[in-house]
Copies of this chain bind each other. A is one copy, B any other.
Amino acid sequence: MTTARQWRLVARPKGEPRPSDFELAEVEVPAPEDGQLLVRNLVMSVDPYMRGRMNDTRSYVPPYALGGPLDGGAVGEVVQSRAEGYAPGDVVLHGLGWRDYAVGPAKGFKVIDTDAAPAQAYLGVLGMPGLTAYAGLFAVAGMREGETVFVSGAAGAVGSLVGQLAKLRGATVVGSAGSAAKVEWLTRDLGLDAAFDYHAAPVAQQLEKAAPEGIDVYFDNVGGEHLEAAIGSLKVHGRAVICGMISQYNATEPSPAPRNLGMIVGKRLRIEGLLVRDHAGLQAEFVREVAPALAYGKIQVRETVVEGLENAPAAFLGLLRGENTGKMLVRIG
């Protein structure tokens, strides 16, 4: 038997989650059964969508059970294998994060190539956030060369890839982020055409200045004021991809924005929701385009790494407050 630690949700957050909503439990990890693996986690992901799963509301993924372990993307090393095709030492991508040891059926674990890219890249640029950016920009929004793209949360895991992918395919790109340092990263290192700190002045005003002729595509990670400003700026036949609305996730009352939705008619806007699970078919095409770009430094990646499983809730809370630049990760191993 192995003793493991796992984070549990012990209270459903009202508004911003509090440390007391989480509890670090010690559990005995059962030996893997036939067809199962025992994995020691090295790194886990915290993602904005997890906030929604902490509410007791029906959504696209079931809510976390109260008193039960949290889960999410993680990378670990196989300790013990009772499944064909997996050997101790293999590094695997899987969905049993928020714990230091994971046991489960082998089909939930995918061996990854850590020579091709560092392990944690499979939680970010080459993983779910990367495919989200790729699918949203190209499959949902149908972005074309020469268009102007606005991405909110542009220094986040998804947003920073949206901006760079759009640039690689010949768009003019404007990004918003939550600090001057992030803005500098976006324009100086990532090559965005313009970026602004959304705390500095109203979003609509800064967007108007950055893209005076309007935008063709809006990639929404933030919602609220950002979405309203984007609807105002979108040109005729513009498209908004709604990937997330992080500004709304801690709201305790339904949010009333945007107030200019009527513009959707005259400008024939299309506003469409995005979940990466619908776009698994793009995985091969995505890797073909992004892996070489990454290898040749055409795409740059930053990560914000919090040390220690015991700090996972703090990492998650920091993510919701925008304390990360690039992908927010927790190193466990």
Contact = CB atoms under 8 A, between A and B. Distances in A.
Interface stretch (A29-37, A194-202, A243-251, A304-312): A243-251
A254 B259 contact: yes
Interface stretch (A91-99, A175-183, A267-275): A267-275
Q: How many copies does the complex hold?
A: 2
Contacts of A268: 272-275, 278
Contact of A262 (B236, B245, B266): B245
Interface in A244-299: 244-245, 248, 254-275, 278
Nearest to A269: B273
Q: Main SS of chain A's interface residues?
A: loop
Question: Chain A interface residue count: which class?
Answer: 20 to 34
Contact of A275 (B60, B242, B265, B271): B265
A266 B270 contact: no
A3 interface: no
Which of A59, A243, A258, A261 neighbours the largest number of chain B CB atoms within 10 Å of its CB?
A: A261
Contact of A274 (B245, B248, B254, B265): B265
Interface in A56-85: 59-60
A223 interface: yes
A270 B270 CA distance: 7
A92 to B, nearest CB: 28
Contacts of A273: 263-270
Nearest to A223: B262
A270 B254 CA distance: 20
Interface in A200-229: 223, 227
A236 B60 CA distance: 9
27 contacts: A59-B266, A60-B265, A60-B267, A227-B261, A242-B261, A242-B265, A244-B265, A245-B262, A254-B259, A255-B259, A255-B262, A256-B259, A257-B261, A258-B261, A263-B273, A264-B271, A264-B272, A264-B273, A265-B275, A266-B273, A267-B273, A268-B275, A268-B278, A269-B272, A269-B273, A270-B271, A270-B272
Closest 3 CB pairs of A and B: A254-B259, A256-B256, A60-B266
Given A242-B261, A267-B273, 19 more contacts: A52-B266, A60-B265, A60-B266, A223-B261, A242-B264, A243-B265, A245-B265, A254-B260, A255-B261, A256-B257, A256-B259, A258-B261, A264-B272, A266-B275, A268-B273, A268-B275, A269-B272, A270-B270, A271-B271
